Amino acid sequence: MANFRTWAGWPLYALVLGLLPLVFTDPHSRLLLILITMYGVLALSWNLTLGFAGIFNFAQIGFFGIGAYTAAILSTRTGIDPWLAIPISGVSAVLASLVAFLPVLRLRGIYVGLATYVFSQLCIYLVLGQAGLTGGSNGIVGIPRLTLGETSLRADGRLGYYFLGAALLFAVTLLVRLLTRSTLGMSLLALRDNEPLATSRGVSRVRQHLIVFMIGAGVAGVAGSFNAFLNGVVSTDIFGFGYLTLLLSMIFLGGSGSVYGPVAGAVVVTIVSDALQDAGPWRDIVIAALIVVVLWAAPKGLAGLARQALTVFRRDRGPVTAEPVHVQTSKEMP
Amino acid sequence: MSSLSVVLTSTLVLGGLYLLMAAGLTLIWSTLRVFNFGHGALLMFGAYLTWTLLTTTGLPLVVALIGAVVAMAAIGAIYEFLLVSPFIKRPNGDMLVMVATLAATMLLQSGAQLIWGPELKQLPPFGQGRVEVAGSVAQGTQLVTIVLAPLLVGLLALVLKRTGIGLTVRALEQNREHAQLLGIAPRRVYLFVVMVAVGLATVAGALLASMQFMTPAMGADPLLRAFVVLAFGGAGSLAGTITGAYAIGLLEALTTYYFGLSWSPVLVFLAMIIIMLVKPEGLLHTRVRSA
Res B134: pLDDT: 66
Contacts of B109 in chain A (CB under 8 A): 241, 284
Q: Do B248 and B47 touch, CB atoms closer than 8 A?
A: no
Q: For residue B86, how many other CB atoms are within 10 A of its CB? A: 17
Rounded CA gap, B157 and B170, in Å? 11
Contact yes or no for A121 and B291 at CB 8 A: no
DSSP A90-113: HHHHHHHHHHHHHHHHH--HHHHH
**Under the phi-then-psi rule, with left for phi > 0, alpha for psi from -120 to 50, and beta for the rest, what region is A233?**
beta
Mark A75-93 as b/e (b = at least 16 C-beta within 10 Å). Answer: bbeeeeebeebbebbbebb
Query: Which residue of chain A is at minimal alpha-carbon distance from B268?
Result: A122
Optimal mutation site among B48, B98, B99, interface A, most CBs of chain A within 10 A: B99
- Alpha-carbon distance of A325 to B3, in angstroms, equals 66
Task: Give the whole-angstrom CA distance, residue B21 versus residue B43.
Answer: 8
Q: What is the pLDDT of residue B112?
A: 94
| Contact between chains at B230 and A114 (C-beta distance less than 8 A) | yes
Neighbours of A156 (CB within 10 A): 14
- The residue ranges of chain B whose pLDDT is under 70 are 1-2, 134-136, 235, 282-291
Q: Which residues contact A33 (CB under 8 A, 6 or more apart)?
A: A20, A21, A24, A162, A165, A166
This prediction's pTM? 0.87
Mutate to test the interface with A, among B262, B283, B287 (most CBs of A within 10 A): B262
Q: Of B227, B286, B88, give the one whose Cα is nearest residue A58.
A: B227
CA distances in angstroms from B284 to A85, B33, B235, B244, listed in the order given: 45, 19, 10, 8
Identify the three-state secondary structure at position A234: strand
**pLDDT tens per residue across all 334 residues of chain A:** 456 667 788 888 999 888 888 888 888 899 999 999 999 999 999 999 998 998 989 999 999 999 999 999 999 988 888 899 999 999 999 999 998 888 788 777 778 888 888 888 888 888 888 888 888 888 898 888 888 877 777 777 788 899 999 999 999 999 999 999 999 999 999 998 888 999 999 899 999 999 999 999 999 999 999 999 999 999 988 888 888 889 999 999 998 888 899 999 999 999 999 999 888 889 889 999 999 999 888 888 888 888 888 888 887 765 544 444 444 444 444 4
A-B Cβ pairs (cutoff 8 Å, strict): 143
DSSP secondary structure code for residue A240 in this structure: S
C-alpha dist (Å) from residue B211 to A17, B149, B250: 53, 15, 19
Confidence at residue A331, expressed as pLDDT on a 0 to 100 scale: 44
Q: How far is CA B269 from the centre of its chain?
A: 18
As beta bridge partners, residue B139 has B130
> How many whole angstroms separate alpha carbon B62 and alpha carbon B141?
12
Tell me the residue length of chain B.
291
- DSSP one-letter code for B131: E
pLDDT digits (tens, 9 = 90+) for B200-233: 999 999 999 999 999 998 998 899 889 888 888 7
Cβ(B233)–Cβ(B245) below 8 Å:
yes
